[in-house]
Amino acid sequence: MISRDRIPGTRRWVVKIGSALLTRDGQGLERGLLAPWVEQMSARRLAGNEVVLVSSGAVAEGMARMGWHRRPKALHELQAAAAIGQMGLVRAYEDGFQTHGLHTAQVLLTRDDLADRARYLNARSTLRTLLKLGVIPVINENDTVATDELRFGDNDTLAALVANLIEADLLILLTDQDGIFEEDPRANPDARLILETWVDDPQLDLVAGGSVTGLGTGGMVTKVRAARLAARSGTPTIIAPGRGERVLSRIGAGEPVGTLLIPFQGPQAARKQWLAGHLQARGRLVLDAGAVKALREKGTSLLAVGVKAVQGRFNRGEVVICVDEAGSEVARGLVNYDTEEAARIQGRSSSSFESILGYLDDEELIHRDNLVLI
């Protein structure tokens, strides 16, 4: 279990900074607001931390450059604003970090980059190499080629998936709030801050609210979801007040800043991290009660005999979601047979595969090494 006094010993940080902390009411980037963050991250890097930055602000900067006063709703306009603003965002970080003798690297990712096994591994290798070289990666979504990131995605989720990708020791989500409160502080000024709790605490679902600034795409709801994604690789999350004084330095010293969300489990194997965070599953397998029990209680492979229905279209080696008969997700993994083959062998024992298909490649529909429980 992670605790505040162990934070100073963490090495690899993913830091996410939202638009509200980098702009003045959405009127483009304000370098006076950006500079203190650069200074603190530089200090952490020079002190031995590996720092990966996930930064919002490209859309707000693009809006300012184009003279737009309201965030566009049309996807193509959002993508255009992101493309325009990304130039200023990266330049601002490059200039800032260079004053501290540090190099930066721009890394643009889409969900597909983290969904495709080969691209996932390439991204992880690149980021690890950058960190080894002492470079600060500045990560954003590749909004100009994405189809749904700006509409459904957010940088909180991206930061959590990056934490999975590089096996981060700590995820810090900086926000314009002090953290998560037991009640809405806008309605009750005396509401108490939750200093730390388990990431799966059901109270979080009751008290987390939406975005109030209108500048970003997320609020506490997305931050809680992101923390739960990060927890899949054993990474704790701190939702920290971006308006506070030297927040990153205080977190590094183990001070009780913001809300610490603690994962239940330690780090998973990298392959299973990828499976758990996979966002582009190609199909679903509906399992009977016996198969669900075997997966959850015995950690077995998924056998075709326990499959009641095959849904969607997928090829061998792609990720599929396993659900129980009520539709609740149980697990996901890399399937050993394509849609048509899986449909033909569902409910059958592996001894019959050769007579049904004409061959036997694998006895398991999903091997336990390629399967992760949800």
pLDDT of 4 over the 90 cut: no
pLDDT of 25 over the 60 cut: yes
Could you tell me if 192 and 314 lie in one domain?
no
Who has greater pLDDT, 362 or 5?
Answer: 362
Confidence of residue 128 (pLDDT cuts 50, 70, 90): very high
pLDDT of 17 over the 90 cut: yes
Sheet with 259-262, side-by-side order of all strands: 104-109, 136-141, 50-55, 12-17, 170-175, 237-241, 259-262, 196-198
Who has greater pLDDT, 260 or 82?
Answer: 260
Per-residue model confidence as pLDDT tens digits over 237-277: 999 999 888 999 999 999 999 999 999 877 766 667 767 66
Could you tell me if 23 and 93 lie in one domain?
yes
Counting residues of the chain whose pLDDT is more than 70, the rounded percentage is: 91
The Cα 232–Cα 221 span in angstroms is 17
Residue that the structure tokens 């940080």 belong to: 13
Total domains, the chain: 2
Could you tell me if 69 and 154 lie in one domain?
yes
Could you tell me if 248 and 309 lie in one domain?
no
Which segments of 294-364 does DSSP mark as H helices, in order? 339-345, 353-357
**CATH classification of the domain holding 237:** 3.40.1160.10
Residue range 277-297: average pLDDT? 90
* Cβ neighbours of residue 298 closer than 8 Å, sequence gap 6 or more: none
Could you tell me if 106 and 157 lie in one domain?
yes
**What's the predicted TM-score (pTM) here?**
0.76
pLDDT of 306 over the 80 cut: yes
The predicted pLDDT at position 241 comes to 93
Query: Among 140-144, 248-252, 320-324, which is the least confidently predicted range?
Result: 140-144
Could you tell me if 238 and 208 lie in one domain?
yes
Q: Which of 248, 272, 296 is the last residue of a domain?
A: 272
Phi-psi region of 301 (alpha: psi -120 to 50; beta: other; left: phi over 0): beta
Per-residue model confidence as pLDDT tens digits over 220-231: 888 999 999 999
Confidence of residue 278 (pLDDT cuts 50, 70, 90): low
Q: Which of 272, 298, 325 is the last residue of a domain?
A: 272
Mean pLDDT of the chain: 88
Q: Which of 218, 245, 272 is the last residue of a domain?
A: 272
The predicted pLDDT at position 321 comes to 95
Could you tell me if 189 and 332 lie in one domain?
no
Highest mean pLDDT among 19-28, 94-103, 183-192, 355-364: 94-103
The predicted pLDDT at position 212 comes to 44
The predicted pLDDT at position 279 comes to 59
pLDDT of 169 over the 70 cut: yes
Confidence of residue 214 (pLDDT cuts 50, 70, 90): very low
pLDDT of 183 over the 50 cut: yes
Per-residue model confidence as pLDDT tens digits over 56-80: 888 889 999 999 988 888 888 888 9
Highest mean pLDDT among 22-26, 28-32, 98-102: 98-102
Could you tell me if 136 and 27 lie in one domain?
yes
pLDDT of 287 over the 90 cut: yes
The predicted pLDDT at position 134 comes to 95
Phi-psi region of 234 (alpha: psi -120 to 50; beta: other; left: phi over 0): left
Could you tell me if 106 and 10 lie in one domain?
yes
Could you tell me if 261 and 356 lie in one domain?
no
Residue that the structure tokens 């199909």 belong to: 283
Confidence of residue 149 (pLDDT cuts 50, 70, 90): very low
The Cα 100–Cα 91 span in angstroms is 15
> Residue 102 corresponds to which tokens in the numbers above?
């540090």
* Cβ neighbours of residue 77 closer than 8 Å, sequence gap 6 or more: none
Domain with 294, as residue range(s), is 281-373
Secondary element (H or E) of residue 131: helix 117-132
Could you tell me if 351 and 265 lie in one domain?
no
> Residue 334 corresponds to which tokens in the numbers above?
């890399």
Could you tell me if 33 and 59 lie in one domain?
yes
pLDDT of 289 over the 60 cut: yes
